[in-house]
Amino acid sequence: MKKHTLKEWLVATRPWSFPASAMPVLVTLGYLFWEQGEIDWPIGVFTIINVVLFHAAGNTWSDYRDFKSGVDREDAVGGMSIVSGQFSPEQIKRLSLSLMAVAVACGLALLALTGMPVLYFGLAGAVLTVFYPWLKYHALGDIDIFLTYAVIPMLGTSYVATGGINPETLWLAVPVGFITVGILHSNNTRDMEQDKRAGIKTFAMVIGGKASSYLYCFEVIFPFLWCVAGIVAGFFPVWIITVFAVLKPAMDNARKAMRYPKEGMQALVGLDERTAQLQLMFSLALFAGFMIAAFIA
């Protein structure tokens, strides 16, 4: 059996997508620090590592299930670790299960360091990760992603960092979660023909290509408007206008998505990765805004 380098194993986990899991936790930490002035930063950093491990396990599990279900084939754009022949399906399956085992172990350590609510958040995240392929195939993947990479980590982070569940962190679920869902949605819009061939039905297929393009634009532009509304309503400090530093990349991505009705799948190649990059930049700018506000106040 072919031996693989550490870099090859890492690439198989699709690390470009990790901002989707790491950034919700980081942004929540910034928000809590601005709001409360004192949080458990070491536990917060450990939480970021934990959710990224769960994410890596989910990515590889999804690749394995997509290959076994016939979604990913030789002409696929994503999930190339198996279809390219670089890894066997069983290798990716074992990698996924190994990552999940490590993630669970870290989750148990987090449970011991904090309290029982971590168990419930962890179980919810694990269930949504394991059943993500099935939910995706039945047009429910977008909801799964929003819960897994916005609602659950934000509420969970509020608990581990402060000792109490703070529902106000969910004000952040909309801007951060929408961009994360945009990563999935751009991927599913691009792959509609392949998914149809495989006999599955994603949400992008349900609403069609043109509507999907418009929805993607909403998912990456509306977060900026939400931040403005939050400032006006007093939920957020004015300093989070820092997010407007990355408005141009969001607009560029939206323009790329709007080329899909005329140019088809090729117009969206790479848009999922560009959306993950947007998530990284947007969230870092949002975090910076909260930190500036915390130190200036």
Per-residue pLDDT of the chain (297 residues; tens, 9 = 90+): 568 888 888 989 999 889 989 999 999 999 999 999 889 999 999 999 999 998 999 889 888 888 877 766 555 555 567 777 788 889 999 999 999 999 999 999 999 999 999 999 989 988 898 888 889 889 999 999 999 999 999 999 999 999 999 999 999 999 999 999 999 999 999 888 888 888 889 999 999 989 999 999 999 999 999 999 999 999 999 999 999 999 999 999 999 999 988 888 888 889 999 999 999 999 999 999 999 999 986
DSSP state letter for 104: H
What pTM was estimated for this model as a whole? Answer: 0.90
pLDDT at residue number 268: 87
As a whole number of angstroms, the distance between CA 184 and CA 203 comes to 10
As a whole number of angstroms, the distance between CA 170 and CA 150 comes to 8
pLDDT at residue number 76: 54
Q: Which amino acid is at 23?
A: M
> Cα angle at 61 between 55 and 65, to 5 degrees?
145
Q: List 201's β-bridge partners, or say none.
A: 138
Helix (H, G, I), strand (E, B) or coil at 138: strand
> Residue 226: how many CA atoms within 13 Å on its side-chain side?
18
| Residue whose tokens read 């029982």 | 116
Distances (CA, A) of 58 to 54, 97, 253: 6, 9, 25
Shortest CA distance to 200 belongs to which of 150, 260, 159, 139? 139
Helix (H, G, I), strand (E, B) or coil at 85: coil
Q: How many CB atoms lie within 10 A of CB 166?
A: 18
pLDDT at residue number 56: 94
Q: Which amino acid is at 117?
A: P
Decide: 153 and 128 in contact? Cβ < 8 Å: no
What residues contact residue 69 under an 8 Å CB cut-off, 6+ apart?
A: 133, 137, 198, 200
As a whole number of angstroms, the distance between CA 176 and CA 165 comes to 19
As a whole number of angstroms, the distance between CA 150 and CA 178 comes to 9
